[in-house]
Amino acid sequence: MNSKMREGKNAAPGKKSADKGSRVHDEEDVKYLRKFSTFLRSFGQPIPPAEKYLFNHSELLRKKKGSILVKSGENNSNVFFIIKGVVRGYMKYGSQNITTWIAEEGEMVGTIRNFELPVPSNEELEVIEDAILVRINSETLDYVYDKYPEANRIARLVVSLNYREAEERAYISRIPSAEARYRRFIEYRGELLNRIPLKYIASYLGMKLETLSRIRKKVK
């Protein structure tokens, strides 16, 4: 999110641009961006001009498993929409990497604690299954919010959805029984069990891999 958007030749000084910084997407990119459009439209009436601006000023990323989207200690003002694949957030604590969340297709992710703030991220974002993502910077979002006020409602609903997901993570981490935490995970995110390494799920649930393996043998 370091690139500045400035208006065209006739723009008033100090205004952000709807032109400079726009990207050209090929047919495959457009196909993936339409999935992002479907996600946005699930929150209400479409806003075609706002969507067009977002698409023209967003970047489509193709990342291999193991790629780092954001490093701990970096400033970050990007958010990512997952078209395909799985991403996790984790924090380093001594020699441990503690998984704080896991997200898959159709979810927005980012380092929310320092989003748009000049402070380093405490989290790292890692691709744990080959992924295709849309990267959007804060300046693009700010332009859309300013230019198309109705887009703020959609943004508020997206934030509310992420808040509910954060609340679920807070809830599951407080369940005292390791087996009950695992059962809760199956209920809400069971589709991830056969997609990603169990070590990430064990870390997310606050248990050792050996404990998770024992529980999985018991819970069918």
Beta bridge partners of 78: 137
Is residue 47 within 8 A of residue 150, CB to CB? The reply is yes
Distance CA 44, CA 186 (A): 30
Q: What are 220's two structure tokens?
A: 């069918």
23-32, 54-63, 133-142, 173-182: least confident range:
23-32
Q: What is the pLDDT of residue 196?
A: 95
The predicted pLDDT at position 29 comes to 85
Nearest to 180 by CA among 210, 204, 205, 199: 205
Higher model confidence: residue 204 or residue 28?
204
Model confidence at 104, pLDDT cuts 50, 70, 90, reads very high
Q: Could you report the per-residue pLDDT of 37-68, keeping only the tens digit for each?
A: 999 999 988 899 999 999 999 999 999 999 99
pLDDT band with cut points at 50, 70 and 90 for residue 79 = very high
Q: Is the pLDDT of residue 115 over 90?
A: no
Domains of the chain, by residue range, sit at 27-174, 175-220
Q: How far is CA 160 from CA 136, 152, 163, in A?
A: 19, 12, 5
Residue 152 contacts residue 27 (beta carbons within 8 Å): no
CATH architecture of 27-174: Sandwich (2.60)
d(CA 40, CA 54): 11
What is the residue-averaged pLDDT of the chain? 87
Residues 6+ apart with CB under 8 A from 190: none
Measured distance CA(193)–CA(100) in Å, rounded:
16
Mean pLDDT along residues 150-159: 93
Using the Cα atoms of residue 11, residue 14, residue 20 and residue 23 in order, give the sign of their dihedral.
negative
Query: Does position 21 have pLDDT exceeding 70, yes or no?
Result: no
Amino acid at 207: M
So what's the pLDDT on residue 9? 33
pLDDT confidence of residue 24: 61
Q: Do the Cβ atoms of 82 and 104 come closer than 8 Å?
A: yes
Stretch 126-150: mean pLDDT? 95
